[in-house]
Chain A
Amino acid sequence: MTGYDPLVKRLLDGELALAELPPELQAEGAEALRLLAVTDRLPVTLPAALDARVMEAVRARAASPSRRVLRWIAEPRELRLRVRPWVLGAGLAAAALVLLLRAPGARVSVREPGATAARAAAPERVFVRFELYAPAAKQVGLAGTFNQWDQAATPLVRAAKAGVWTVTLALPAGQHQYAFVVDGRRWVTDPAAPAVDDGFGRRNSVIAVGGTGARAL
């Protein structure tokens, strides 16, 4: 094909008709069309194993599922976003508010003029040791506001002193209510701590953990 005039090539590509060629190229064009027609009518036979070989090569080059996922994640994509400026501003403000609400220790006390604002509470933690004398118990748990009242979350262990069960916890500063759970069914208040009505006919023990590291009871 390389020896044909560019206009003849356009004829072969179907972009020109034979009559549109200059007179001096029409013979060359007609010959080229004849040769092409003969070539097109030749039967083409492919080897029988060609399909299998091609598919084998494709499978060999195909990436594993994990590689495809990685490629999908890593490949840069174009995103188009149309936002009104006031919506963007409001969205950022809302995000800032959510962060503020979730920030630990973000407390503000507003008082009347003439008085000093209360200090912001820092999220301090204080180690507190809980003990219960329960010689007949097979297991003892500690449930309270600090562990979503999950009696399995904080098991006590037997202390060296006979009949005494104990556990030490790091509690955030503040007030917590709790109870011991003996053998998974008996809720017992701490005899060494003050107690308040729990609203269900029982009592909860109370512990106030101060920021000074002392157990304030």
Chain B
Amino acid sequence: MTRLAPVLLLLLAGSLAAQESTTARLNRRVPPGVAAAVRALADSAAARGLPTDPLVDKAIEGSAKGVDPERVVAAVRLVFTQLDAAAAGIRVGGVVIPDRETIEAGAFALAAGMTGQQISELVKLSITPYTPAATLRVAGTLTALGVPASQTVALVRETIRNGRASADLLVLPGRVQAQMARGESPAQAAAGLTRAAAARAGAPGQARPKGPENSRRP
């Protein structure tokens, strides 16, 4: 027991630090009942390796918008579920222990309308220099713009296959918005960009990246 004490103290210290942060952020911003429910959910999230800030953010947001406490707690539960599902999808995609940034990006993509399976596929596509977090963020943003989720995955896949710099992935939402400003629907804009990326990828002399099709993980 004496030998286990330092480990237990470490875990306790980490848990206390997270609790202190959660409590401090909730204080005077949300009703006490909501704060208690959020603290309990945050403890569960921390125990599952999930980030807790999005839960606190959602509770603060609901209170700031004058939403009923019951509805605030329900929304926080939904965020918890999305974070958990995102982490699971990311693990299936090949990241054994996903970091906070990637889980939050995955949860955002789910909230935007993507599925866990699509999250996994996007993570698998994200081989250096593409990071899973950036890919998920871009995909979520495209879906939030109105691009159908399956088309979003196709556009991201073709862009990565094309071997462009990771910055080119980040500008995809802006390019879709530019097409939308010209009168195209989100689906039409995404389809046009996907066709263009596929054509470039298939052009003679076009270098293929170490993409998912020719560089699989062991």
Q: Given B6, B13, B18, B61, which contacts A89 in the complex, CB threshold below 8 Å?
A: B6
Closest to A92 in B: B6
Q: Given B14, B78, B128, B170, which contacts A216 in the complex, CB threshold below 8 Å?
A: B170
The stretch among B31-39, B137-145, B155-163, B195-203 that forms the contact with chain A is B137-145
Interface residues of B in 128-157 (CB under 8 A from A): 128, 131-133, 137-138, 140-141, 144-146
B112 contacts across to A, CB distance below 8 A? 194, 196
Contact (Cβ within 8 A) B171 A116 = no
Q: How far is the CB of B25 from chain A (nearest CB, A)?
A: 8
**Residue of A89, A91, A118 most packed against chain B (CB within 10 A):** A118
Q: How far is the CB of B137 from chain A (nearest CB, A)?
A: 5
Given A90-B6, A115-B217, A118-B102: A195 and B108 interface contact (C-beta under 8 Å):
no
Q: How far is the CB of B97 from chain A (nearest CB, A)?
A: 4
Give the number of chain B interface residues (Cβ < 8 Å). 60
Contact (Cβ within 8 A) B29 A202 = no
Contact (Cβ within 8 A) B67 A200 = yes
**A202-B75 Cα distance, complex, nearest whole Å:** 12
**A196-B111 Cα distance, complex, nearest whole Å:** 7
Q: Given A107, A116, A216, which contacts B99 in the complex, CB threshold below 8 Å?
A: A107
Contact (Cβ within 8 A) B217 A200 = no
Contact (Cβ within 8 A) B99 A108 = yes
Closest to A148 in B: B60
**A107-B95 Cα distance, complex, nearest whole Å:** 14
Contact (Cβ within 8 A) B18 A101 = yes
B102 contacts across to A, CB distance below 8 A? 109, 118
Contact (Cβ within 8 A) A149 B111 = no
Interface of A toward B, CB cutoff 8 Å: 86-87, 89-91, 93-95, 97-98, 101-102, 107-116, 118-119, 121, 143, 145, 148-151, 174-175, 177, 187, 194-200, 202, 204, 206, 208, 210, 212, 214, 216-217
